[in-house]
Structure 1
Amino acid sequence: MQLTLQSKKEEVPGVISFVFQPAQPISWQAGQFLEYTLEHPNPDERGVKRYFTIASAPYEQKVMLTTRFTKDTGSSFKKALFALEVGQTLEAEGPKGSFVINDPNQTYVFISGGIGITPFRSILLDLAHKNQPINITLLYANRDENIVFKDELESLLPNYPNFKIQYFIGESNQLDQEKLQKMLDTKIISLNYYFYVSGPEPMVQSLEKILSDLQVLDERLKRDFFPGYDWPMK
């Protein structure tokens, strides 16, 4: 499908949202992703295709891609993406992926590292739009106080008493086994909850092992990782 760039927005320093208008209406489940193709000169070894979560909720009817970019280390794809001007197009296939909520009446722990917040934005706004319960504890790790979608997520708190957010900021406050064990001990979270982990691939792998060691059953764990990002965050 063809997507036309409608707008760009800097969410926090170094993180940009691109909002696209699809050529034809598309439907997706909150938490899914698209495969994007952006032809550009001299592509690097990763080529002209990338996977990005749809950060927008389905009711918003636009496709929002939110990603981190560093000029010194950005891939050729991201440099071409950031060079796109309003009105220009790229191609996408999908939607794809199973990182979705099937039963909003269950209780969930969302664990996000940095830009891994994108599927959770889509899911949370979708639940709110549908007036469905939000029985979710969001554990949100960031390198600094520049937290993507912070105000938007916190705006849900007054209307959803079972929605809670806990931040982990900086290298000295990483989300580790000790912190998760303490949350289990103090009943902030439970092994009976469903755990969704999204973020840099090393973080997802690390937390997968930690949750397994804490006796979280594999069928209660979903993963969505973002290649090319460091963990712990520097």
Structure 2
Amino acid sequence: MRKLQLTLLVVLLFTALAATRAIAQPFWEQAYKGATGVQFTVGSQGIGGEFKYNFAENAALRFGASFLPLSANNLFTFSGLKSTNNLSARFSNVHLIADYTPFDKAQWFRLVGGLGYLYSARGAINVIPSGDYKVANYVITAEELGRLNIDVSWKGVAPYVGVGLIRNFSLNSRFTANMDLGTYYLASPRSTIVGTNLLADNYQLQTQMDNNLKSYRWLPVLQLNFSYRITQ
């Protein structure tokens, strides 16, 4: 009888410990091996979506895509040149990202790394002169001067490194949200300069522009993730 009572006491003790641990670690903060989910993302790289798979209790893979279109008019002024200008940018990517949580007691901290392919990564500016220009005794009209288009592309494979800095907070038992902070290291920029009429010779500046832009290869990422867990 005493052995049976002791056995029951041990079982009850382990049951109580397990229940206490479950209460201390809510459902939305647990990491389940094999769990799957989807994420809606919004931030500096635009809007996007991801599929998430936990291949270990403290590690997961994310496969997704994002899209960022931008445009602005008359953002720049050029000394000695009256003009209208149109700026546009488009950055779109597909990516495979890994998350790793190294510390059990710091679930708010994740190491993040992976690769992205930017199938569209370009910025362009179109300059249209306006008014007439007097050069010595000659008057050159805007039509005679021509137009100028400058296009820069960072298309290609880009490694990504970053961290997750905010602990998951629950919107309900399946919806959570957190944040990523990181950067892509882009491919070397390639510029194309196309001018018409008197501006046609500006294509010769492409090499100089590539050299001037060679250090502009870091694309910062600040992203909010809104997740829905499909399976546990």
Instruction: Tell me the TM-score range normalised by the shorter chain.
Output: under 0.3
- Structure having the larger proportion of residues in strand: 2
Structure having the higher helix fraction is: 1
TM-score, normalisation: structure 1: 0.22
> Higher Cα Rg: structure 1 or 2?
2
TM-score (norm 2): 0.22
